[in-house]
Amino acid sequence: MGYSTAEACYVFDTGFSDEEERLRLGELLWDPGTADRLGALGVGPGWSCLEAGAGRGSIAAWLADRGAQVVATDLRADRLRHLTGRGVTVLAHDLLSDAPPAGGFDLVHARLVMQHLPARAEVTARLAAALRPGGVLVLEDTDTASLFSHPDREGFLGRAKRAAYRTMAVAGYDPRCGLRDAALLTGAGLVDVRTEARAHVVTGGTPQSRWYALWLRHLAPAMLGAGDLEAHELDAALAELDDPANSWLSQVMISASARRPAP
């Protein structure tokens, strides 16, 4: 997912050498729950779907495998080119400045997108307008309050967490956005708003824990440069994330969905 207007700067839109792996590991953590949520809507043949801010395209591929017609958009469309052979239409698209593709979609889905956008209400309204009457908009964003909750250690990785989210906030990130998505849907004129939440217990030294390590590594130059975290504190945090003796709670991923009413 990305965007480029002067209004904001996506915090992960950098030359981080492990960004492809970071995105892949994020899919590993969050895709199963997303598939369950979208599957419950009955997505299948005959559906027209827009995957906005598609990242590496795993959910767009899943929708196509279900028989849906899929348009996948992102600022970095090069990461989505592998989908063209699977019948997915790939478009470069800036959510903050470009209108969504036309077509009257049955489903519009955006995961880990709104929480990075400063103009959330405006973008939500544009995505809602891309739905056909009766179509569903699904927003998935996190609430970060639970992150690094540890069964035995109060404040586990608390300083690293605070430093990381301070860095992200400078770029417009909202750490509580998941709890705001329902209001965004209502504000866009959609009805039948429904929400649900999921979280994971993550164990150190696993692929899922490496996602968090790459998150800190990616943000490290900004965190260290701002003095929010010292190099030895970063090294200690990365060691904790790699230790199989540690288990912690992830962020809570909140799925909010709503339907465009009939005219």
Specify the CATH number for the domain of residue 145: 3.40.50.150
**Is residue 9 included in any domain, yes or no?**
no
Q: How confident is the model at residue 263 (pLDDT cuts 50, 70, 90)?
A: confident
Q: How confident is the model at residue 76 (pLDDT cuts 50, 70, 90)?
A: confident
**Is residue 4 included in any domain, yes or no?**
no
**Is residue 12 included in any domain, yes or no?**
no
Higher pLDDT, 99 or 148: 148
Mean pLDDT of the region 15-40: 93
Output the six-digit token pair for 156: 């586990």
Full domain range(s) for residue 169:
19-259
pLDDT at 4: 41
Neighbours of 242 (CB within 10 A): 14
For 198-235, what is each residue's pLDDT tens digit? 999 999 999 999 999 999 999 999 999 999 999 999 99
Q: How confident is the model at residue 12 (pLDDT cuts 50, 70, 90)?
A: low
pLDDT at 45: 96
**Is residue 14 included in any domain, yes or no?**
no
pLDDT at 85: 85
Q: How confident is the model at residue 132 (pLDDT cuts 50, 70, 90)?
A: very high
**Is residue 120 included in any domain, yes or no?**
yes
**Is residue 11 included in any domain, yes or no?**
no
Cβ(244)–Cβ(204) below 8 Å:
yes
pLDDT at 13: 58
For 85-118, what is each residue's pLDDT tens digit? 888 999 998 888 888 888 799 999 999 999 999 8
Cβ(182)–Cβ(138) below 8 Å:
no
**Is residue 7 included in any domain, yes or no?**
no
Which residues 6+ apart lie within 8 Å of 149 measured at CB? 156, 248, 249
- Mean pLDDT, the chain, whole residue set: 93
Distance between CA atoms of residues 109 and 230, nearest Å? 38
Q: What's the structural domain count of the chain?
A: 1
**Is residue 250 included in any domain, yes or no?**
yes
